[in-house]
Copies of this chain bind each other. A is one copy, B any other.
Amino acid sequence: MTATPSAPLFDRLVIIGPGLIGSSILRRAMLDRGIARELVASDIDPKVCERVRELGIADRVVQDAKEAVRDADCVILCVPVGVIGTVAAQVAPAMKPGAILSEVGSTKVSVINAVLPALASRPDIAFVPAHPMAGTEYSGPDAGFPSLFENRWCLLLPLENTPPDAVARISAMWEAMGARLRTMTPEHHDRVCAIVSHLPHLLAFTICGTADDLADETRSEVLDFAASGFRDFTRIAASDPTMWRDIFLNNREALLEMLDRFMADAQAMADAIRKGDDTIIVDRIARGRAIRRTLIENHQA
């Protein structure tokens, strides 16, 4: 945590949707007062608001979003992907001139398309889409923790007309939270995330369903004997259904493309096993290991 003799990055920072991601931002910013002088939380659910108060992870909790964003210099939408556009439309008219609007959605092209109309009459608001590549399988305000973003990537997706100064401040905020930054286009973001995150989740949800469909006796034994392979899959599959439905629907194109490629590769593996083609099988297994090794070298494993 940095010593901050100078003014904080933001005077008033508002988090809409203090769930896993939002409450982790709040928790970190409560510890590092160089991020914002005042932290405001807002959630559609009164129980979440109450819980945030109990946890003491915001200076103020204001349930009404329009009310909450008043006089903020930065508003970060931490709500599910499917409602980011709606919430943007709700808060943008109430934001002060020159304020920054950011969001942390797991998909980008459709989220940006959903937010832009809300900003059409507010060209003075600086929109900075971002995606912190960090998370767990838990959700809600109790799930967050201040070190969630430490040493994880945060992807920035500034638009052509996003003022560089706004990007710099959002960058400084994520850096203060320990994240490493990378800038890319929304389209590229959606393809990369489709393969590194969305497809793995789809496969994990699916295999759990496949196991569940097996005859009753086998199913109970599947649960009893879940070897490490299956256990790792179920850990991924424990994530929130609404969040993942939103992600799948909002990154439909890139995800379906990656799934097609994957299905073709799985079919090729099935054919090799059916034919007993050792070379292809070993080659594919060995490639998995090579990727793994690179990950370890990149300190991501």
For this chain, the copies found in one complex come to 2
Contact partner, A256, options B191, B198, B236, B270, Cβ 8 Å = B270
Interface-lining segment among A12-20, A40-48, A118-126, A214-222:
A214-222
CB distance from A68 to the nearest CB of B (A): 29
Contact partner, A300, options B204, B226, B242, Cβ 8 Å = B226
Known: A229-B200, A285-B241. A234 touches B267 (CB 8 A): no
CA distance A208 to B294 in the complex (A): 12
A196 contacts B267, CB within 8 Å? no
Chain A, residues 59-79, CB within 8 Å of chain B (1/0): the string is 000000000000000000000
Q: Which residues of B contact A211 (CB under 8 A)?
A: 195-196, 291
A291 contacts B223, CB within 8 Å? yes
B292 contacts A262, CB within 8 Å? no
Q: Which residues of B contact A255 (CB under 8 A)?
A: 273
Among residues of B, the one whose C-beta sits closest to the C-beta of A291 is: B208
For the complex of A and B, 3 pairs with smallest distance between CB atoms: A237-B288, A200-B229, A208-B288
Known: A205-B285, A223-B295, A300-B226. A210 touches B256 (CB 8 A): no
Does A109 reach chain B (CB closer than 8 Å)? no
Does A248 reach chain B (CB closer than 8 Å)? yes
CA distance A245 to B195 in the complex (A): 25
Q: Which residues of B contact A214 (CB under 8 A)?
A: 195
Contact partner, A225, options B153, B201, B222, B244, Cβ 8 Å = B153
Chain A, residues 236-265, CB within 8 Å of chain B (1/0): the string is 111101101100110010011011011101
Among residues of B, the one whose C-beta sits closest to the C-beta of A204 is: B288
Does A50 reach chain B (CB closer than 8 Å)? no
A269 contacts B206, CB within 8 Å? yes
Chain A, residues 258-295, CB within 8 Å of chain B (1/0): the string is 11011101110110011010100110111111111111
Does A202 reach chain B (CB closer than 8 Å)? yes
CA distance A158 to B152 in the complex (A): 50
Contact partner, A262, options B192, B199, B206, B252, Cβ 8 Å = B206
